Amino acid sequence: MKIAYFTETYLPDINGIATHIKTLKEGMERLGHDVLIVKSDAQVSQPELRDGVLSCPAITLKKVYGYSLASPVSRKRFSILRDWDPDVLHFHNEFGQGLFALMAARALHKPVVYTLHTMYDDYLYYIAKDCFLPLVRRLGHGYLRFLANRSDLVVGASPKITDYFKQFGTEKNIQIIPNTVEQAFLETSEATAARAQAIRQQFGFAGSDLVGCFCGRIAKEKNIDTLLRFWKAAAAGLPSIKLLIMGDGPALNELRQLTAELQLSSVKFSGKIEHSQLPAYYQASDFYITASLSENYSISTLEALASGLSVVHLLDQPNEYQYQQGLTGFTFETEEQLRHILGQLAAQPVEDKFKLRQAVRQHTRLHSSDEAIRHMLDLYEMVIMERSPHEQRSADIEVKLKQ
């Protein structure tokens, strides 16, 4: 099978969507299928096909995650795609590449799959002032409904996506395929262990310290300010418990200032980390912690679990099924609950901490990426079989593609 993925973000970008597409690509190729990545790239002036990646001219949106946004119309991009002749098209972003995938699928008589990764209501502040949010939200819901209803299949990583689409009346039955990560990438090694020890020394963490970590874009929707305020109350009087916040983003300086105001000497910021370095940073940590309520089966959380870290998290009911409470997940709603969890983890003997880490890693192995890849492949085969061979080409769309 020949599968084309369309995205505004891909490697070397560091984010959940890029990681997810990388996992899909490598998994499909292991099963013997051909994959083409069609991505936006502000560094090229015309479409360039190299090593299975079609890079398309784009502009960079600095306010919106630094994504590069491509035009939905390109004659040369369409020509390259037509010559490659995909069996199925699958888009992961809703903007230029998503619209292009919809139009190309119609022109080529091929099925198109849409994965919604982002709960956009939590991100509208990037593009609109508060007074315009209700209007922008209604327009956004209408646009997402348009994309979903014109796709052959819609996929989401958690029930949150189903509930989200129900808000604005999409006609589609949403298929849920949980996100996964490549566990082999996160396996420990002597080199990783040595790097992890150096990281702990770099940030001043003693061997006996219990280190929690958060990894993600340092931005408002991640609720890191709430996490810091919880941490202020819950970690008071527990000097051996430390927090490492990993990542970069528009709220980094603001959160550093808040940390200083709260006098949180136990909290450190790493800044941007290359994805290849993440295994060592997870190895340097003892648990993962998050207060984000905007996640849709978080890739960073999955990477932490695959590294053997239990997740301490603010209650997010739609995502609770992601964790086995007391093993892979510990839920808090109050400062007292968080303090109790931190105290429990800190009081564990070294041997028990090691056993917990091994148990978390083993439990996570039960949900491998191979299972999700095979499920996705089954869905591709289904939409290919269901696609009508008699569908007529839309003349106006083909004209636009050739402009």
Rg (CA), the chain: 22
The confidence score (pLDDT) of residue 160 equals 86
The confidence score (pLDDT) of residue 64 equals 58
Q: In the predicted model, what is the mean pLDDT of residues 22-43?
A: 95
Q: In the predicted model, what is the mean pLDDT of residues 121-127?
A: 73
**Residue 303 pLDDT class (50, 70, 90 cuts):** very high
The confidence score (pLDDT) of residue 393 equals 44
Same domain, 152 and 193: no
- Who wins on pLDDT, 125 or 288? 288
Per-residue CA distances from 138 to 141, 142, 167 (Å): 5, 6, 10
CATH of the domain at 21: 3.40.50.2000
Q: In the predicted model, what is the mean pLDDT of residues 38-52?
A: 95
* Largest pairwise CA distance in the chain: 71
Same domain, 158 and 189: no
CA distance 213 to 307: 12
Same domain, 149 and 13: yes
CA distance 14 to 279: 14
Same domain, 219 and 269: yes
CA distance 360 to 395: 54
- DSSP per-residue letters across 192-244: HHHHHHHHHHHTT--TT-EEEEEES--SGGGTHHHHHHHHHHHSTT-TTEEEE
Percent of the chain with pLDDT over 70: 94
CB 236, CB 338: distance < 8 Å: no
Q: What is the DSSP letter of 392?
A: P
Least Cα distance to 147 among 69, 95, 110 occurs for 95
- Who wins on pLDDT, 141 or 369? 141
Tally of domains within the chain:
2
Same domain, 100 and 245: no
Residue 237, pLDDT > 60, answer yes
Same domain, 341 and 376: no
Residue 320, pLDDT > 80, answer no
Same domain, 131 and 187: no
Same domain, 277 and 397: no
CA distance 57 to 16: 22
Which residue has tokens 């299949």?
153
Beta bridge partners of 331: 313
The confidence score (pLDDT) of residue 124 equals 74
The confidence score (pLDDT) of residue 391 equals 52
Same domain, 165 and 116: yes
Kindly report the number of other CB atoms within 10 A of residue 217's CB atom. Answer: 21
Residue 268, pLDDT > 90, answer yes
Pairing assessment for the beta strands 34-41 and 2-7 based on DSSP bridges? parallel
Burial of 61 (0-12, 13-18, 19+ CB in 10 A): middle
CB 178, CB 139: distance < 8 Å: no
Q: How far is C-alpha 268 from the geometric centre of its chain's CA atoms?
A: 23
Q: In the predicted model, what is the mean pLDDT of residues 140-168?
A: 90
What does pLDDT average to over the chain? Answer: 89
Residue 62, pLDDT > 70, answer no
Residue 395, pLDDT > 70, answer no
Same domain, 30 and 145: yes
**Residue 32 pLDDT class (50, 70, 90 cuts):** very high
Classify each residue of 134-165 as buried b or exposed e, where b means 16 or more C-beta atoms within 10 Å of its C-beta. eebbeebbebbbebbeebbbbbbbbbbbbebb
Q: In the predicted model, what is the mean pLDDT of residues 6-26?
A: 89
Q: In the predicted model, what is the mean pLDDT of residues 131-139?
A: 85
Q: Which pTM value belongs to this model?
A: 0.81
Q: How far is C-alpha 108 from the geometric centre of its chain's CA atoms?
A: 30
The confidence score (pLDDT) of residue 403 equals 53
Q: Which domain holds residue 136?
A: 2-180+369-402
The confidence score (pLDDT) of residue 340 equals 96
Least Cα distance to 331 among 345, 318, 316 occurs for 316
CA distance 361 to 307: 6
Residue 72, pLDDT > 70, answer yes
Q: In the predicted model, what is the mean pLDDT of residues 245-266?
A: 95
Beta strands in 218-372 (DSSP E): 241-246, 267-271, 287-290, 311-314, 329-332
The amino acid present at 340, given as its one-letter code, is: H
Same domain, 335 and 380: no
Beta bridge partners of 325: 329
Look up residue 319 and give its two tokens.
Answer: 């995502």
The confidence score (pLDDT) of residue 307 equals 94
> End-to-end CA distance of the chain, in Å?
29
Same domain, 214 and 124: no
Least Cα distance to 269 among 303, 244, 290 occurs for 244
The confidence score (pLDDT) of residue 402 equals 52
**Residue 371 pLDDT class (50, 70, 90 cuts):** confident
The confidence score (pLDDT) of residue 389 equals 52
